[in-house]
Structure 1
């Protein structure tokens, strides 16, 4: 374990120059760590009371809730981050592979437990659709190629030019990557049973776009979930944030919480100062790991922005969410750690997020019960529930609507569990569009960033570099490589490398 770093009054003598990182979510922590490792003095500015962004934890009444991310996929991305600083993930938290990785409820008596063991997974598929075990193998072979190519070739590219993709391996494999093939059509080439199709399509709905509008490239997510496994960091995602923050502090990074940045001062096409309520501070470069739209529209003068409001209004956003954090005074035997309720029409809910934005007619929803794997997250004999319903961003958000949908969700959850959960509640808190906007300055209150459509892939995403301010770069889920925790960690590293390259040339 690294020793806690004492906040210095001045930067170490070895620091080449000083840089600021705005925001301390996964991308901000990643950027700060890599900048500090390169010898720069780094200050991180966080508007909230603690680091973590959407991965903050809510601790109340004996319960510890992860407020945002709860799926730990692509464990090697986390491991690579810690390895880059001489640590292992195990130095900061214990990982447990979940088995089943997750459960999908199609009906009270139609439940699919997705096993961690691949042989058991093949048997599950074969029991549902004859010949599908062989089809699964073929599907995941293709998805594995996309995953390896994507992780080794694509996600670390800054997306500043098409020439970045002038790589023989990429050119040779462009058709195998299936960038121009619909994810929906691709899945249906392999499987016919609607339950297997739903299993394959669910990550797209929760993290991106309509399956019809998503490139088949993103079957790499199926490889991540079904082949690499679903994991859980003991203590929750807050432990991952704590570990990354300790890495930063061990490099000399200084954190300023409750310190929203309110203006970026630019002179001769370079930021030279940032303003907070505590005054102005001078810097040689900035990584904006806060909401991209907020940084552009609120912190920069209009003539210095990459994009105008018309551009942002045309972006296809990934969903927002209605979330409930619930404390239950009884154990709930029927629930697993991750349970997806797809006992409704997936396509209708997707249309009501992406095509005809409205509160859903009959929502799909997801329940995380981490106290199944970690008894430290709730009082003895209690359960900790995180319930999430994907929702169109920018939609009306009222307490009355939250309560209406709480009732709809709980009716179905209680019917499935054969238990009056509401009667056993001793903690309840909701979180929705307004809260994402207030806490994270989130554009339209989105929860996940940009949708993974073809026209919002790679260099077609908002640029990681400000085109008018030479020492300003962006990181996070609204730029490359995209939404999700592992991509955000990579985004911070890529943006840090670009700023280092710029500063080294000065």
Structure 2
């Protein structure tokens, strides 16, 4: 097959799609606007320190295994993977930490110590979460979101009520200790919405947490990016960096025919965008855009983030590789993101200290710290605000872990709303895409295939199946499948209409 496919962006979904499409015999080229590949999962290196700029959590290892197995490979063919023990720690105040182990038995002991008798409820909750995981991750998320009937199976019918309940209510019904409630609500934050707005069925994220555990690829998440690029190159994919796509051209028949890259007109039979969906549509003349500005305004977006990458000249004590700081009011911070968007007065934050696991990420005797504060997208972003919030979290970090750290900072780099817009063309500077609420699930998300432009497709966190690294890999596979069906002119599925509820 001599089909030419041009892919915009080099995030996880684009990398996955590129490999599948090249394996089928197409000539695939990936165009990345930045100087290095990876999209939000780029890497920062400075003065002997190494940081993942985006994702730092490796969850759902089975999804990665399934991806590489599609090519007769295994993750260990490309990178070394280690299960973290403990998985992470949650700080609720000075000398008040709950550490999550690497197996359910250990976690149950911690739960019983915190709330006597809660382990029995936890085992029941995780058993249900595993059942949901088996339905969702092993089946439903591998469907392309073309029809509501994709969600109708004997298994989902049996769990229909879980699509209309919410995680927060379910957890609070069974667990009374506030700390345990927050720990159980934490995993669904990866889906981009408040627990009270996340359907009960999404408890499968709790199985991803307590059942499958937290892993770390040596070298960080960028090692996975490099692995996927290497796999793509093995399939024949070409990569072009510093390649800013300025326009998608559509001919008189309504077919995408060219992309304009740094002023150069490049022909292609298929155009696939893994870039921000909203931005991609602005590359089209207005009449070819599927979704209005009002549509995007009405959607619930996952948060943006204020990130700091900090080099310390000594180890940071009393923390784990992954540490969550929940020492302030969770509900208030959530309201500042979703209900009344503003900079939070007292933000929760997350910290990663990768050198606790991987000594290569910092010079000997030093520490690489990554800090993340979730924020509402579209907020004002200034150097003064960044500095103010860095001071807030460093002061709390020192107090909560009882050590002096500010004088040990060698450097810090920051990344926030403006950078998400400038580097990734991200809508309102969001970090994670569209939240997975009930009305933004599966066929109710923006489609993988344009319904106005022939041969134009989309992949990534704003489309099916949703935000997160494992869903991005799945999104790449799904869109590649749709493209291959079109190229090979296989029989169309019975239901291809896009369903949207504009509320």
Q: Pick the TM interval, shorter chain.
A: over 0.9
Report if aligned partners of 1:205, 1:350 keep a CA contact under 8 Å in 2. Answer: no
Partner of 1:404: 388
| 1:10 match | none
Q: Is the 8 A contact 2:191 2:466 kept in 1?
A: no
Shift of 1:17: 0.8
- Alignment deviations for residues 424-457 of structure 1 (CA, whole Å, 9 cap, x no partner): 1112101100000000000000011111211111
> In the aligned structure 1, how far is the partner of 2:234 from the partner of 2:322?
34
Contact 1:71/1:231, CA 8 A, preserved across alignment: yes
DSSP-derived class of the 2:308 partner: strand
> 1:45 maps to what in 2?
31
Give the superposed CA RMSD: 1.1
Aligned: 1:23 with 2:3: no
| 1:153 CA displacement | 2.2
Name stretches of at least 5 consecutive residues in structure 1 with no aligned partner: 1-14
Matched, 1:262 2:271: no
Following superposition, the deviation at residue 211 of structure 1 comes to 1.4
* CA contact 1:25–1:55 (8 Å) conserved in 2: yes
Q: Secondary structure at the match of 1:24?
A: coil
Report the 3-state secondary structure (helix = DSSP H, G, I; strand = E; otherwise coil) of the residue aligned with 1:90: helix
Q: 1:294 aligns with which of 258, 272, 279?
A: 279
CA distance in 2, matches of 1:148, 1:23: 31
Q: 2:261 aligns with which of 256, 272, 276?
A: 276
Q: CA deviation at 1:75?
A: 0.4
Q: Quick check: 1:370–1:385 contact (8 Å CA) kept in 2?
A: yes
Change (3 A) 1:288 1:160: same
Pick closer, same or farther for the CA change 1:395–1:420 going to 2, 3 Å.
same
Q: Deviations over 1:191-242 (max 9, x none)?
A: 1110110001123335411211111121111110111000000100111000
Partner of 2:88: 102
- Say whether residues 1:138 and 2:124 are aligned partners: yes
Return structure 1 stretches of 4+ with deviation > 4 angstroms.
none
Q: For residues 363 and 95 of structure 1, what CA distance do their matches in structure 2 show?
A: 32
| Number of residues of Structure 1 aligned to a counterpart in Structure 2 | 489
SS at match of 1:152: coil
Indicate the residue corresponding to 1:469 in structure 2. 453
Q: TM-score, length-normalised on structure 2? A: 0.96
How far off its partner does 1:278 sit?
4.8
For the pair 1:63 / 2:81, whether they are aligned, the reply is no
Match of 2:499 in 1: none
Contact persistence 1:287–1:496 (CA under 8 A)? no
Correspondent of 2:40 among 34, 48, 54: 54
**Matches of 1:419 and 1:130 in 2, distance apart?**
32
Q: Contact 1:259–1:277 at 8 Å: present in 2 too? A: yes
Q: 2:114 aligns with which of 117, 121, 128?
A: 128
Q: Distance in 1 between matches of 2:154 and 2:193?
A: 30
* Map of 1:504 onto structure 2: 488
1:50 Cα deviation from its structure 2 partner: 0.9
Structure 1 stretch 463-472 or stretch 368-377: which is displaced more? Answer: 463-472
Is the Cα–Cα contact under 8 Å of residues 103 and 210 in structure 2 kept in the other structure? no
How far off is 1:308 after superposition?
A: 0.6
Matches of 1:310 and 1:491, distance apart in 2: 25
* 2:368 alignment partner, SS class: strand
1:334-483 maps to which residues of 2 (within 5 A)?
Answer: 334-483=318-467
Tell me the TM-score normalized by structure 1.
Answer: 0.95
Structure 2 unmatched ranges of 5 or more: 491-503
Tell me, in whole angstroms, the C-alpha distance in 2 between the residues paired with 1:198 and 1:290: 33
- What is the deviation of 1:166? 3.6
The SS at the match of 2:265 is strand
Task: Judge which range, 456-465 or 483-492, deviates more.
Answer: 456-465
User: What secondary structure sits across from 1:505 in the alignment?
Assistant: coil
Residues 464 and 474 in structure 1, CA contact (< 8 A), matched pair in contact too: yes
Would the aligned equivalents of 1:61 and 1:427 in 2 still touch at CA under 8 Å? no
Secondary structure of the residue aligned to 1:381 is coil
- Whether the 8 Å CA contact 1:206–1:390 is kept in 2: the answer is no
CA distance, structure 2, for counterparts of residue 86 and residue 309 of structure 1: 43
